[in-house]
A = this chain, B = another copy of it.
């Protein structure tokens, strides 16, 4: 496994690989502080791609004022161990200056999909995501890119961008990985106090309840689903709900009772102290 810090160096190595091999390049973009979720993306890439490229870059552009850019957890040594064990070939770790040598004047924005959920609570967040992913895609020029479905809205945004801008890249959505007790894996889980960690279980539990509810209720409204999730989360005294929404997926559009689309998402963002966690359930619904 090779670790590179400069764009020029990365490009040279990938071009070199492509000259010698007729195999695909797979890409896993991350902000580091890797957990089993990231590892599962690398393993998936390892099965599909000839060259597996991991990027580790905490992108300032996608953090709002007062968000956790400065304190976002970092642990390069452990990241590199996990990456190597999972079969990464090339790790790209640019500095902020390497990615933004001059103030960036170009923005990639995706409308429609970004007005709800995290897009509503974190204005500008998805512009920052689309812009940096666009940069990384141009730098790496992968054939496939692997993203975790915990960030389901991010995947919807990136798939829309890829389609609209004719990027020749296959987006591979991968399932959310969970701790043994159900909590969705996240680099931000490390922020949680012991008490918060225990109470954070209400998130995955509430989504399990939705799953059961939908299975036993052929007709349901988005309000019922939201109500079910919200009331369960409210049993945790340390939880403050940012949003709970039930929408079509990947359109992220509201639906009427009896007219739900084939695939829906129930998504939530909840704060425990300063720590904001997200989780979601994407479910195929019988019509």
CB atoms of A106 and B164 under 8 A apart: yes
Whether a CB of chain B sits under 8 angstroms from the CB of A130 is: yes
Closest approach, in angstroms, between the C-beta of A95 and any C-beta of chain B? 14
Stretch of A64-72, A132-140, A147-155, A195-203 at the chain-chain interface: A132-140
Known: A165-B138, A166-B139, A168-B11. A108 touches B110 (CB 8 A): no
Which residues of chain B have C-beta atoms less than 8 A from A138's C-beta?
165-168
Q: How many of these chains are in the complex? A: 2
Whether a CB of chain B sits under 8 angstroms from the CB of A240 is: no
Which residues of chain B have C-beta atoms less than 8 A from A161's C-beta?
106
Which residues of chain B have C-beta atoms less than 8 A from A112's C-beta?
105
Which residues of chain B have C-beta atoms less than 8 A from A105's C-beta?
110-113, 160, 164
Which residues of chain B have C-beta atoms less than 8 A from A163's C-beta?
102
What's the Cα separation between A141 and B102 when bound, in Å?
A: 25
Whether a CB of chain B sits under 8 angstroms from the CB of A180 is: no
What's the Cα separation between A160 and B164 when bound, in Å?
A: 21
Whether a CB of chain B sits under 8 angstroms from the CB of A107 is: yes
CB atoms of A165 and B11 under 8 A apart: no
Whether a CB of chain B sits under 8 angstroms from the CB of A7 is: yes
Chain B residue at smallest Cβ distance from A114: B105
What's the Cα separation between A112 and B106 when bound, in Å?
A: 9
Whether a CB of chain B sits under 8 angstroms from the CB of A104 is: yes
CB atoms of A106 and B106 under 8 A apart: no
Chain B residue at smallest Cβ distance from A104: B164
Q: Chain A 257-276 against B: per-residue CB contact (8 Å), 1 yes, 0 no?
A: 00000000000000000000
What's the Cα separation between A7 and B102 when bound, in Å?
A: 34
- Report how many residues on chain A are interfacial, defined by Cβ distance under 8 Å: 28
Whether a CB of chain B sits under 8 angstroms from the CB of A189 is: no
Which residues of chain B have C-beta atoms less than 8 A from A24's C-beta?
none
Which residues of chain B have C-beta atoms less than 8 A from A109's C-beta?
106-107, 109
Closest approach, in angstroms, between the C-beta of A21 and any C-beta of chain B? 13
Which of A7, A105, A167 is packed against the most chain B CB atoms within 10 Å? A105
Which residues of chain B have C-beta atoms less than 8 A from A102's C-beta?
163
22 A-B residue pairs with CB within 8 Å: A7-B166, A102-B163, A104-B164, A105-B110, A105-B113, A106-B109, A106-B130, A106-B160, A106-B161, A106-B165, A107-B108, A107-B109, A107-B111, A108-B108, A108-B165, A131-B165, A134-B165, A135-B166, A138-B165, A138-B166, A138-B168, A139-B166
Which 6 residue pairs spanning A and B have beta carbons closest together? Answer: A106-B164, A138-B166, A105-B112, A135-B166, A104-B164, A106-B161
On A, residues with C-beta under 8 Å from B are 7, 11, 102, 104-113, 130-131, 134-135, 138-139, 141, 160-161, 163-168
4 additional A-B residue pairs with CB within 8 Å, beyond A106-B108, A106-B109:
A105-B110, A105-B160, A106-B165, A107-B108
